[in-house]
């Protein structure tokens, strides 16, 4: 039996593993995908908004070419953290169920484990918000964006008002998409759009190089078109790709299945004690971005690195 099973090998799951190792507790990290799976699925050309020192964990220095690291630098960094600390991680193994008797029984796609404590650091990046319109299942509709090359010469619709949508619209426009159209449900772009990016996108919209429909929604997607409901009535546009940058949400079904209560606040915050990070299920802790529920911009790497310290203080008390 292990002292701790950590579910999720994102940056915060790794912090927890390091803390377990420092305190000589037996542990394993289990992830359904690759190491730092969420980061791996971020856009290829993205740059972190944090400087590299703020993304450091386990006292391993993170040196990047510029102050703010790229995705590939971050992937390399977290690989190096795992090697330096010789962390025990089982990848491509999904946790499906957790049963509690005196101890925890963790059932995965590959087997089972028993543990005294569980840390859930499962993030929020696996479940995209759906548009829920006819045609959303067509292969041309993407909820994750990788790189601009496939969209060269194509009519692209970008749905969303926040950083991801803005970055995708600007990048596809600059890398030769034929026409980029932003479709925004709200009357304006999100307040959270990075202040150094906002004037760029606003000016591209103003000059018409990026088309935009505010207070608007896609209502139907076909092989070669989209229908947009706008305040002036329905508009049909020729379309090759829909990039739905509408955000992601934590897997509340998984949390509820293991008995974690979800708050009735607007962000559906999973119930946990912020002094210990323990949930309403004795012995199950939360760490990282999952702690914010639907408020996915509340916790990030920079400010949740220390969740691991709070948790292990409680475990060892
Ligand atoms: C484009 C983008 C840019 C960002 N830039 C920054 C930045 O500059 N600075 C910053 O601090 N933050 C940034 N963030 C936020 C940051 O990446 C996240 O807050 C961070 O990844 C959270 O780490 P985590 O370990 O809590 O969760 P994650 O990194 O999401 O890790 C969760 C892991 O759990 C695994 N998992 C989920 N369910 C299961 C299961 N049932 N069984 C097994 N494994 C499971 C997933 O595969 C995943 O690997 C950015 C986010 C995005 C989207």
What was the pLDDT predicted at 101?
Answer: 87
- Mean pLDDT, the chain, whole residue set: 97
* Domain spans of the chain, in order of start: 2-127+248-316, 130-244
* CATH superfamily, with its number, for domain 2-127+248-316: FAD/NAD(P)-binding domain (3.50.50.60)
Integer angstrom CA distances of residue 197 from 61, 164, 173: 28, 11, 14
Would you say the CATH fold of 130-244 matches that of 2-127+248-316?
yes
Q: Which atom of ligand 1 is nearest to the CA of 94?
A: 42
Output DSSP code: residue 81: H
Q: What is the pLDDT of residues 198-223, one digit of tens each?
A: 999 999 999 999 999 999 999 999 99
What was the pLDDT predicted at 217?
Answer: 97
Pocket residues: Cβ below 6 A from ligand 1: 7-13, 30-33, 37-39, 42, 46, 48-50, 94-95, 121-123, 125-126, 254, 288-289, 300-302
Q: What is the pLDDT of residues 101-157, one digit of tens each?
A: 889 999 999 999 999 999 999 999 989 999 999 999 999 999 999 999 999 999 999
Q: Which atom of ligand 1 is nearest to the CA of 46?
A: 1
Instruction: For residues 234-249, give the mean pLDDT.
Output: 97
Residue 266 has pLDDT above 90, yes or no: yes
Encoded tokens for 185: 């449900």
| pTM as predicted | 0.94
* CATH superfamily, with its number, for domain 130-244: FAD/NAD(P)-binding domain (3.50.50.60)
Please tell me the distance between residue 191's alpha carbon and the centre of ligand 1 in angstroms.
22
Q: Which atom of ligand 1 is nearest to the CA of 37?
A: 49
pLDDT interval class at 160 (50, 70, 90): very high
Q: Is 288 exposed, middle or buried (0-12, 13-18, 19+ CB in 10 A)?
A: buried
As a whole-number percent, the residues of the chain with pLDDT over 70 amount to 100
Output DSSP code: residue 80: H
């Amino acid at each position: 039996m292990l002292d701790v099973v950590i579910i999720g090998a994102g940056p915060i799951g790794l912090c927890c593993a390091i803390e377990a190792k420092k305190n000589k507790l037996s542990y394993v990290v289990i992830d359904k995908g690759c190491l730092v799976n969420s980061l791996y699925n971020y856009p290829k050309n993205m740059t972190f908004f944090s400087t590299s020192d703020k993304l450091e964990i386990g006292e391993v220095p993170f040196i990047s070419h510029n102050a703010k690291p790229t995705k590939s630098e971050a992937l390399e960094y977290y690989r190096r953290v795992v090697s330096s600390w010789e962390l025990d991680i089982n990848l491509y193994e999904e946790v499906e169920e957790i049963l509690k008797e005196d101890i925890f029984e963790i059932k995965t796609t590959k087997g089972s484990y028993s543990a005294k404590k569980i840390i859930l650091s499962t993030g929020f990046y696996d479940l995209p918000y759906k548009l829920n319109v006819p045609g959303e299942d067509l292969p041309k509709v993407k909820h994750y964006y990788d790189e601009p090359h496939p969209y060269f010469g194509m009519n692209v619709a970008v749905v969303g008002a926040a950083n991801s949508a803005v970055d995708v619209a600007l990048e596809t426009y600059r890398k030769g998409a034929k026409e980029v159209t932003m479709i925004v449900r709200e009357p304006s772009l999100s307040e959270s759009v990075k202040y150094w990016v906002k004037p760029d996108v606003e000016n591209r919209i103003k000059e018409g190089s990026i088309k935009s429909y505010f207070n608007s929604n896609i209502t139907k997607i076909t092989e070669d078109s989209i229908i947009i409901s706008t305040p002036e009535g329905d508009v049909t546009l020729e379309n090759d790709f829909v990039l739905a940058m509408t955000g992601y949400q934590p897997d509340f079904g998984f949390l509820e299945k293991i008995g974690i209560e979800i708050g009735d606040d607007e962000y559906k915050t999973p119930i946990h004690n912020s002094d210990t990070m323990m949930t309403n299920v004795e012995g199950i802790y939360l760490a990282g971005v999952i702690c914010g529920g639907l408020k996915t911009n509340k916790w990030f790497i920079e400010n949740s690195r220390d969740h691991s310290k709070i948790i292990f203080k409680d475990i060892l008390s």
